[in-house]
Amino acid sequence: MKTQKSNIFNHIFKYISQFFFIICIVLIFALGGVRLIGLNPYVITSGSMVPKYKVGSIVYIQKVNPEELKVGDDISFYLDDKVVATHRIREIDEPNRQVKTYGIHNKDSNGNQINDANPVDFDHIIGKVKFSLPILGYIYLFARTTTGKAIIITLLAMVLISSTIHYIYKRRRDYGEKTDKS
């Protein structure tokens, strides 16, 4: 009976550990590892691009030559030194090296599109949106807080400690079974 309970415990523990490991790997890649393949993640924090990019989504931006952009492309750009926006190009002014943009959800009371007030200089363009993942932005923003970092470190430590304890327990059990058979 004890062996059956311990086998069930081992299987449950194994699957939970594997699940957390896979989740950690996916999150590490989704939130930072994509930089290795030339994509930069940015979190959508306003509703100006709903329904295409919901608040809390992460958009993955790839650097592009501004001359290669087209009307209708979604781009991320610097509004100022710290603020990044993601909007759609409505017009390209190549002689002045600027694009004019709009948020697809920004409409007046008559339902007419409201365009962004200021054009975006080519040198303020970060890149073009390649794809987005919903909800992950909330995790990304939380992980950047002190509390988020503490929770992540605690969870990783718990997985490491419990895996080590499980490994030691299993080795002792296996050693005991070998001794009993001798």
Start-end of H helices in the chain = 2-31, 136-143, 146-181
* 122-150 pLDDT per residue, tens: 999 999 999 999 999 998 899 889 998 89
Angle between helices 136-143 and 2-31 (to 10 degrees): 90
Average pLDDT over all residues of the chain: 88
- Per-domain residue ranges of the chain: 38-134
Note the pLDDT of residue 89: 98
Where on the phi/psi map is residue 72: left (φ > 0), alpha (ψ -120 to 50), or beta? left
- pTM, full prediction: 0.77
Q: What is the pLDDT of residue 163?
A: 79
Which homologous superfamily is 38-134 in?
Umud Fragment, subunit A (2.10.109.10)
| Gap between the Cα atoms of 88 and 73, Å rounded | 6
Q: Which residue has the tokens 């930072």?
A: 32
| Stretches in the chain below the pLDDT threshold 70 | 1-6, 176-182
Q: If you search the block for the tokens 């002014």, which residue do you land on?
A: 93
